Structure 1
């Protein structure tokens, strides 16, 4: 059995969830099945990690709720107030004087978490958990149903204790976190009758007035938010699992945006990273995605992140911090320069082109130009750029000159050259294009190496084992050594049933590297080879043991659902399978890779380039065709020639 066949067998055997219509998934609990999982959900004022599952037949439903704008002291990266709520110390439901035990029968995820349980009585309990879109609360909607033929006397006893913060350790005075039970006076339930009440988990300053919450209204707003994401940038392929994984990834990529005093900030989450931005997670990973989706908060958070980074430009060309934290009040640069200027220049250039708004591009240009000036001061005699570390921040060796920083810098030069042309800066456009070409040759010359028998790249001088980030040159359009690199990434040294290892011989994996690799595979036309792996990965992350989003890493963080990884999943599709590369405010190149087993693939309601348009790739006989439908109804139709990019200019 091949490694891939074994992976596919693992995926099939570990598939707990099933697809439902309407971008929903369901886990039907089998007799005697025990399984626990966790999912993160977020709104503008709060986030929650909900731990759910079945333990010895009974419902597990614990929560950790994060209030990013309730800052604690010291006010650093991890200073968001976080309070746990355990179901064993929560709301007690009694039926005819006997405490209820809940036995889950099924779980449903669709931007909310719904749990359907029977009990040790005729009562059935349905719970739906979701964050408020714009208030500092998590809401748990509880529906009680009498399925028997006798009336039931119901008692609700709120056992939650209030949490009061220490004022001396709270930036904005004392905070209170509490669970409010709304409509808890349950009448006797007649046969077949149901009753609805809500638990509102609220965090606020002690001085904030009491708020009258309307859970039904909050539920509808959450549903509207999820629907708005489903209705834009719609992926249609013959593979329902990939379509649905893409729809879920749009939710996680977009919900983790916080309305801080420093403006909207897209944060990774994971009980650690809120009200803050990073040069990799935000500038490099998430921001270039948001113009394609067109979500207003996503685009505003992207622009705001670049404005924050721009605050730290300086005439001495000291590096911009890796992360700006605490709502913009502080920063983190503990790993020194991780290649952050390359990340920012790349992300800002790609973002400005894809957004298609000249005024924003003009605003971002000084930041982009400054980052390149900084990079030139790090250039070595070998024609490559040094940095103190990389985005792994010392978790794995990176030497003094690493492949990540240089690959991203190459992508930055390419996009900045296109952006400079759009802004009428022809001299700089030619200069950046020349520097990109010089850097490309330098990367191949300096990093190109045979590693563990593969003609690929060394990650740094002295590196003798395969590394996950050898995928990066492919994702930036550097195709030299791609055949050996693909072989290496899918070899026994790096590929596992959890994706690609950080380095050969290790057990650590980070989804961001796996997702970049998938994008690179598709960009270089290795679609037939990569698709089975991508189908496996999508099925595992959406329908396996830990769902429904891509994760950060393991063992670090216990596979947290960090937000930017979901943006990277979406970019596997937009920039990988469809191979869309922004080249102007209304212009892009596209070189799609339609898998042989598919007759079509579509992206509908793309909102990039300040337009709304559809892309369809289809096959008739042996010929593939590209159709771009513009918002005025005009069609652009082109035959697709293998590995030849098509330039599209929108009206």
Structure 2
């Protein structure tokens, strides 16, 4: 492992730079949207220096968090934090308990592994940067030195334990160049649970090259991990790039958003990449995991079951749908006996369970699994996973208190902030589970069960209103738990589930009282420190809910501002987990939640069966057109095109396989029903 104290200090500095820069400048924009589905940071004209950022990129056996920073002289520093999730390492004798959950082989590399380029007995130092591009890969364009341009392209292998850094040297001068490339290599070995783990860094550059005027030479630097006798060389950067490009092409062609706002379109595309790339091989099969340097080869009841699982059927990405199914099956396999709560995560390829508290996970599972099955539209699959829904709803019902709302020890914030004995999130998710399980039950022929769930849903809606409905900070919205007197981000959940009794005050609380330049606060409190705590998942749910409830203009204004900051601001190009905790890591499932704003919020897609749908189109002068192409609804691929006509009419066209299913002009926000057979 190539690491020292100075490098660790550098990593710490790089990690805090985005937030430090945010304090220096009021919402600076470093990036602009370019062609080829990319964004570009023009460092040559940048006035806000120094600046640093990081981006995570993943394949099935590797994840790399690349830290890059540019100082006042436009000099670049790159640090590669590489994680090989399947290579479980031994616990440390002086370690703490949580480290066993994060026991991945992890190495950090800086400039000491970079090749040395020599031209006429002089070492060519490519330290300055002209621009940086993000296009599903990280591409760095260096300032020419001695008429030579260096372009670096960093990306993960999609199939191997391999991260690639591709260097391209181009002669932009008139005379031929003879260059010497001095390669450096590094190797380490470590015993682990699966054998001896070998890590190797090497380059396949030729020692001597000649470049005529205008000619380029490309080679790869390979960061490899292997177990026992697996090969650590012989890789091809061209083949790895072809794999990455094929994945990116799939993301470009599936579930395509086209609006009059290029920021929304671009961040939607990037969100598909981040949501879909973080899928890993494991003993559980393919699994989607959050990433972020901490969370790999595992599944969680919130991130995978509730957030990303219901999204993948829309995307039509087979690996995503399979990974989602594997997550649901893992929870099904571990339904507990008696009244014990179900484990809320399975980490380290399923070897370690987390079940020390009830976070309302049964409600998350009922809601997420029901949505996933409706969207897959597969009766056989639904029948096989139905016991998970049935158990989850029964567990929630068994936890109803004297007020008819669901008791849980905490919520998915896991005790970071008080939740009382019964919180609004758990009851709202249980409500959503009942709502969508009624449709799954109907499709499976369980009429009596469906009727029971409908009755329980109606009762729960009354109980949510009676117990949680309250005036908080002068707004007739919801208290999060009994005794709570501050606005919370999860008051958005009734809106997400279609409960609009207190919609106007709740939307005001979320989009006005609690809104900051980073979205919705976790809790609204007086004092400056309270205004620094935010989790993007709350913002992404809030926007979905306020759009769904019909507060289009204000929601669009906030969505546009939030999207611009996440795409073009100081930490790009994805939705983040949280701040200050984990300092704004790019967790994968948050990107799935971003896409769901458009599908379930703006479009208002709802299902009442495997093949029956309705949407509630919404547009205005700021967003007069919206098209979603290649939406996968069950076994059918659909395109939906909306266009504003006049002040309050929308032209709605829904087509599949070139055939119009719906072609109508109607009032804005009026529901459209359709079936796909």
- The residue number in structure 1 matching 2:584 is 559
Q: How does 1:267-346 map to 2 (within 5 A)?
A: 267-334=289-356, 336-346=357-367
CA distance in 1, matches of 2:428, 2:118: 61
CA distance in 1, matches of 2:563, 2:651: 26
CA distance in 2, matches of 1:388, 1:92: 57
CA distance in 2, matches of 1:596, 1:424: 45
Q: Tell whether 2:633 aligns with 1:633.
A: no
Name the SS of the counterpart of 1:307 in structure 2. Answer: helix
- The residue number in structure 2 matching 1:597 is 622
- Of the three residues 569, 589, 613, the one matched with 1:544 is 569
Name the SS of the counterpart of 1:328 in structure 2. Answer: coil
Q: How does 1:404-419 map to 2 (within 5 A)?
A: 404-419=425-440
Cα contact 1:68–1:274 (8 A) shared by 2: yes
Report the count of equivalent residues.
637
CA distance in 2, matches of 1:23, 1:559: 24
Q: How does 1:428-467 map to 2 (within 5 A)?
A: 428-467=449-488
CA distance in 2, matches of 1:145, 1:581: 53
- The residue number in structure 2 matching 1:420 is 441
Which deviates more, 639-648 or 540-549? 639-648
Gaps of 5+ in 2: 1-23, 92-98
- The residue number in structure 1 matching 2:67 is 51
Measure how far apart 1:119 and its partner are.
Answer: 4.6
CA distance in 1, matches of 2:46, 2:579: 30
CA distance in 2, matches of 1:461, 1:360: 40
CA distance in 2, matches of 1:208, 1:13: 48
CA distance in 1, matches of 2:312, 2:62: 21
- The residue number in structure 2 matching 1:248 is 270
CA distance in 2, matches of 1:11, 1:605: 40
Gaps of 5+ in 1: 1-9
Cα contact 1:102–1:125 (8 A) shared by 2: no
Q: Tell whether 2:161 aligns with 1:144.
A: no
1:495-519 Cα offsets, whole Å, 9 max, x none, are 1111111111212100000010110
Name the SS of the counterpart of 2:470 in structure 1. Answer: strand
- The residue number in structure 2 matching 1:232 is 254
1:585-607 Cα offsets, whole Å, 9 max, x none, are 11122112213333321111111
Q: Tell whether 2:38 aligns with 1:24.
A: yes
- The residue number in structure 2 matching 1:624 is 650
Measure how far apart 1:317 and its partner are.
Answer: 3.4
CA distance in 2, matches of 1:393, 1:210: 41
Q: How does 1:255-270 map to 2 (within 5 A)?
A: 255-270=277-292
Q: Tell whether 2:505 aligns with 1:484.
A: yes
CA distance in 2, matches of 1:529, 1:323: 36
Measure how far apart 1:182 and its partner are.
Answer: 1.1
1:127-176 Cα offsets, whole Å, 9 max, x none, are 011111111111111011222344444333334432322x2xx1112211
Question: Cα gap change, 1:412/1:641 in structure 2, threshold over 3 Å: closer, same or farther?
Answer: farther
Measure how far apart 1:399 and its partner are.
Answer: 1.0
CA distance in 2, matches of 1:95, 1:422: 71
- The residue number in structure 1 matching 2:547 is 522
Cα contact 2:617–2:650 (8 A) shared by 1: no
Q: Tell whether 2:113 aligns with 1:92.
A: no
Name the SS of the counterpart of 1:570 in structure 2. Answer: helix
Give TM-score scaled by structure 1 length. Answer: 0.95
Q: How does 1:151-162 map to 2 (within 5 A)?
A: 151-162=176-187
CA RMSD of aligned residues (A): 1.7
- The residue number in structure 1 matching 2:53 is 37
- The residue number in structure 2 matching 1:103 is 128
Q: Tell whether 2:520 aligns with 1:500.
A: yes
Cα contact 2:126–2:150 (8 A) shared by 1: no
Measure how far apart 1:88 and its partner are.
Answer: 4.4
Measure how far apart 1:45 and its partner are.
Answer: 0.9
- Of the three residues 606, 609, 623, the one matched with 1:581 is 606
Measure how far apart 1:210 and its partner are.
Answer: 4.3
Give TM-score scaled by structure 2 length. Answer: 0.91
Measure how far apart 1:359 and its partner are.
Answer: 1.0
Q: Tell whether 2:91 aligns with 1:69.
A: no
- The residue number in structure 2 matching 1:384 is 405
Cα contact 1:237–1:602 (8 A) shared by 2: yes
Measure how far apart 1:102 and its partner are.
Answer: 2.2
Measure how far apart 1:53 and its partner are.
Answer: 3.1
- The residue number in structure 2 matching 1:7 is none
